[in-house]
Amino acid sequence: MTLMTPKEPNKPKALRARRIVLLASVAGLSAFALLAGPGFYRSNFDFGASAAQAADTSSLPHPSSFAGIVAKVKPAVISVRVTIPGSAEPAMMSQNDDDQAIPFAPGSPLQKFFQQFGDQGGQPQAHRTIIGEGSGFFISADGYAVTNNHVVDHAKSVQVTTASGDTYKARVIGTDPKTDLALIKVDGKGDFPYVKFADQEPQVGDWVIAVGNPFGLGGTVTAGIVSAESRDIGAGPYDDYIQIDAPINKGNSGGPAFDVNGNVIGINTAIYSPSGGSVGIGFDIPAQTAKQIVAQLKAHGSVTRGWLGVQIQPVTAGIADSLGMKKAEGALVDSAQANSPAASAGLQAGDVITAVNGTPVKDARDLARVIAVLPPDSAVKLGILRQGDAKTVSVTLASMPNEQQASATQDGSAPRGVPHLGLTVAPAGDVDGAGSQGVVVTAVEPDGPAAQAGFQPGTVILDVGGKPVASGGDVVHALKLAQAQGKHAVLMRVKAGDATQFVAVPLGNA
């Protein structure tokens, strides 16, 4: 699922997807933007505080210029140009707003760009070649470079251009759609200038310098500050973005954001924008996430995530109060899947996971992110709260198995032959405040199709495939019917709060 696909039904903390724009650019656009240079905020504003009350900022560093940093890092930043033949994926074509067929999977990032900007090619579908542009940066002298998955997605060929104007062919080593990262490689040289990932996480207020290829204007430098951390924008199950206000636009995708030491703190990925242009709200994949993902892509060409095997839900204020917790933090275990690491370690329904290896768990999404970046076979210590008592449980993670995603059944089991959605349900009449119609989602597998479609505990499913449902068995029957009809997705009518709407949910493997 991409940033430009709404994650419905209920997404109170996520920005509206129609305002989230991926930053890959499309060649042939006529858009142009004048970007302001680095700003330095040195004025002493008087808000009525006396000299004694005012903070002493005399010793704080005030950079006079970013020129030295830019000269150091700019040679490692590249423009990434991809070609996608018009005949690619013919079985997956869909229609844009002008009823012109476009050769991308429904919901893919480049499809969204052509829906917004239109196709400039004017050629017959079978002979069109689509050109896309983004950014990237070398991470080693032998030509390994990082960019976004949505920059190279479906690309037949990849070409990079360096700051000096040299052009090289590149190949895709591996991609990870769930974090929108990709590793590419330029062969034949061993002396490319490169940059390193930062070892420390940035703080809100730190300077940040973005270098990239906005609108095809290679080598563009902008600056700003880190505006916020740990942003969840509804892009996927592992959202943990850094928010920056350095102006970035389409074409900056995959480009680096640097600290004042010239280290990469994040990879530019998306912007929040009513118009499609920069309004000073950009989102970066943190360097700590990128380092772990890139290492796996380099070693294996793909990413294998740690798997705990629990269905979890948020700790609400009411749950925290009932458990005697001071704050609504952690992840409440709804169930431990059979034959999972969690089950082997003795985790039980009602346990609250409060920490992983001593690091506090903020909420259910935080737990999913932390476990997912750990490699399989990792030994971890979970801090849990069980019936008011704090305990530590040792768990050895396994590889995340797609075939073990939980299905939509009343008791959470996964019957053979049923498509996996990754959620459990209960009759609405059995859940206080849920009404009498439909079934209520009681838990969501963090990495399942339902989670990626935006389902959350408390969502009420009214119809599945046009048929009213009143139990887990009804849902299972509707899923089997959709599968027997050869459908790849099932349409559900859902209710979240007072809003009712339809959501198409992909059918996972049985």
Whether residues 284 and 409 share a domain: the answer is: no
Q: Check whether 267 has a pLDDT greater than 90.
A: yes
Shared domain for 29 and 159, answered yes or no, is yes
The CA–CA distances, whole Å, from 71 to 193, 208, 262, 449 equal: 12, 15, 10, 45
Q: 263 pLDDT exceeds 80? A: yes
Q: Give 3-24 pLDDT, tens digit per residue.
A: 332 233 343 444 444 456 666 6
The alpha-helical segments, DSSP class H, found in 220-379 are 287-300, 317-322, 341-344, 364-373
Query: What residues contact residue 429 under an 8 Å CB cut-off, 6+ apart?
Result: 435, 436
290: Cβ contacts below 8 Å, ≥ 6 apart: 146, 179, 181, 197, 264, 266, 267
For residue 228, how many other CB atoms are within 10 A of its CB?
13
Number of alpha helices (DSSP H) and beta strands (DSSP E) in the chain? 9, 30
Asked if residue 382 and residue 458 are part of one domain, the reply reads no
- For 285, the domain range is 1-41+66-301
Is residue 46, in this structure, part of any structural domain at all?
no
Residue at a domain's end among 275, 301, 327: 301
For 78-122, how does the pLDDT look when each residue is reduced to its tens digit (9 = 90+)? 999 999 765 444 332 232 222 223 333 445 444 444 444 333 334
Strand partners, 130: 84
Q: Which of 180, 239, 245, 284 is catalytic?
A: 180
The closest alpha carbon to 133, from 100, 167, 178, 174, belongs to: 167
Q: Return d(Cα 158, Cα 176) in angstroms, integer.
A: 17
Q: Residue 295: phi, psi to the nearest 5?
A: -60, -40
For the cut 90, the answer to whether the pLDDT of residue 73 exceeds it is yes
- Of 301, 321, 355, the one marking the end of a domain is 301
pLDDT value of position 25: 56
Q: Considering the domain boundaries, does residue 54 fall inside one? A: no
Q: What is the CATH number of the domain that holds 161?
A: 2.40.10.120
> What tens digit of pLDDT does each residue of 279-306 get?
889 999 999 999 989 999 999 898 888 8
Q: What is the CATH number of the domain that holds 447?
A: 2.30.42.10
Is the confidence at residue 275, as pLDDT, over 80? Answer: no
Contact status, residue 383 vs residue 353, Cβ threshold 8 Å: yes
| Counted domains in the chain | 3
Q: Which among 150, 245, 284, 420 is annotated as catalytic?
A: 150
Q: Are residue 248 and residue 129 in the same domain, yes or no?
A: yes
User: In this structure, what is the dihedral angle of CA atoms 226, 247, 38, 133, given to the nearest 10 degrees?
Assistant: 120
Residue 338, strand partner residues? none
Active-site residue flag, 488: no
29 vs 54, which has greater pLDDT? Answer: 54
Closest CA relative to residue 133, chosen from 78, 211, 209: 78
In terms of C-beta density within 10 A (0-12 exposed, 13-18 middle, 19 or more buried), how is residue 107 classed? middle
pTM flag (> 0.75): no
Mapped onto helix, strand or coil, the DSSP state of residue 368 is helix
- Mean pLDDT of the region 438-460: 81
Catalytic residue among 25, 253, 278, 335: 253
The string of DSSP codes covering 72-129 is HHGGGEEEEEEEEETTSSGGG-EE-TTS-EE-S-TT-HHHHHHHHH-----S-GGG-E
